[in-house]
Structure 1
Amino acid sequence: MMSLNKTKSWKVLLVSLAAALSFSMLSACSNNNNNKNAADDSSTAYATYKGGTITEKEYDMDTRVMKFLSPQQAQFMELDTFKESILNQQAAFEYQAGKATDEAKKQAEKEADVQLADLKSRLGDTYESSLKEQSLKEDDVHDYMVRVLTVYQDMLLKTTDDEVKTHFETVKGDFTTATLRHVLIGLTGADGKERTKEDALKLANEVKAKLDGGADFAEIAKQYTDDTASKEAGGQLKDVLLGNYVEEFKVAAQTLPLNTVSEPVLTVFGYHILKVESRTEATFDKLTDEQKEAVKSSTTSQKLESFLENDLGPLEIKINLPKSSAAAAESGTNSGTKATEAPGASPAATEAPSASPAATKEAK
Structure 2
Amino acid sequence: MSSNKTKSWKVLLVSLAAAISFSMLAACSSNNNSNTAEDKSAAVATYKGGKITEKEFEMDTRVMKLLSPQQAQYLEIDAFKESILKQEVAFEYLSGKATDAAKKEAEKQADEQVNSIKTGLGETYESTLKEANLTEKDIHSYMLRVLTVYQDMLLKVTDDQVKAEFEKTKGDFTVATLRHVLIGLKDAAGKERTDADALKLAKEVKAKLDGGADFAATAKQYSDDTGSKESGGEIKDTVLSPATYPEEFRKAAQTLPLNKISDPVKTVYGYHVMEVESRTETPFDKLTDEQKGTIKGSLASQALESYLEKDLKSLDVKINLPKSSAAAGAANGGTKPTAAPSAKAPAATEAAQ
TM-score range relative to shorter protein: 0.7 to 0.9
User: Structure 1's 189 and 122: CA in aligned 2 closer, same or farther, altered over 3 A?
Assistant: farther
Residues 30-86 of structure 1 show CA distances to partners (whole Å, capped at 9, x for unaligned) of 569823232322211111111111111111111111111111111111211112112
2:299 corresponds in structure 1 to: 299
Cα deviation for residue 325 of structure 1 reads 3.0
Q: Secondary structure at the match of 2:274?
A: strand
Match of 1:290 in 2: 290
Classify 1:209/1:126 alpha carbon distance in 2 versus 1 (closer, same or farther; 3 Å).
farther
Change (3 A) 1:345 1:99: closer
- Identity of paired residues, percent? 65
In structure 2, give the amino acid aligned to 1:220: T
Which residue pairs with 2:201 in the alignment? Answer: 203
Shift in alpha-carbon separation, 1:191–1:319, aligned structure 2, 3 A:
closer
> How far did 1:308 drift?
0.6
2:289 corresponds to which letter in structure 1? D
> What does 1:206-221 correspond to in 2, within 5 Å?
206-221=204-219
- What does 1:1-364 align with in structure 2 at a 5 Å threshold? 2=6, 21=15, 26-27=20-21, 28-30=24-26, 34-124=32-122, 127-243=125-241, 244-326=244-326, 328-330=327-329, 335-340=333-338, 348-349=346-347
How far apart are the structure 2 equivalents of 1:312 and 1:346? 17
- Deviations along 1:138-191, one digit per CA (max 9) or x if unpaired, are 221111101111111111112212222222233322111111001122334334
Q: Is the 8 A contact 2:19 2:341 kept in 1?
A: no
* Rounded Cα–Cα distance in structure 2 between residues aligned with 1:176 and 1:69: 34
Counting matched residue pairs gives 337
Is the Cα–Cα contact under 8 Å of residues 21 and 115 in structure 1 kept in the other structure?
no
Q: Deviations over 1:256-305 (max 9, x none)?
A: 22222122223333321111111122332221111101110111011001
Amino acid at match of 2:328: A
Distance 1:224 1:25, change over 3 A: closer
Which SS does the other structure have where 1:272 is aligned?
strand
* Alpha-carbon separation, structure 2, partners of 1:247 and 1:300: 22
CA–CA distance in 1 between the matches of 2:137 and 2:184? 44
The runs of 4+ residues in structure 1 deviating greater than 6 Å are 22-25, 342-347
Q: SS where residue 329 of structure 1 aligns?
A: coil
CA-CA distance at 1:105 after TM superposition: 1.4
- Distance in 2, Cα, partners of 1:137 & 1:202: 55
How big is the shift at 1:192? Answer: 4.7
The one-letter code matched in structure 1 to 2:219 is: A
**Could you say what secondary structure the match of 2:133 adopts?**
coil
* TM-score (ref. length: structure 2): 0.85
TM-score (norm 1): 0.82
Q: Which runs of 5+ in 2 are unaligned?
A: none
Give RMSD over aligned pairs: 3.0
Supply the distance in 1 between the matched residues of 2:68 and 2:337 (Cα, whole angstroms): 18
Are the aligned partners of 2:298 and 2:345 in contact in 1 as well (CA < 8 Å)? no
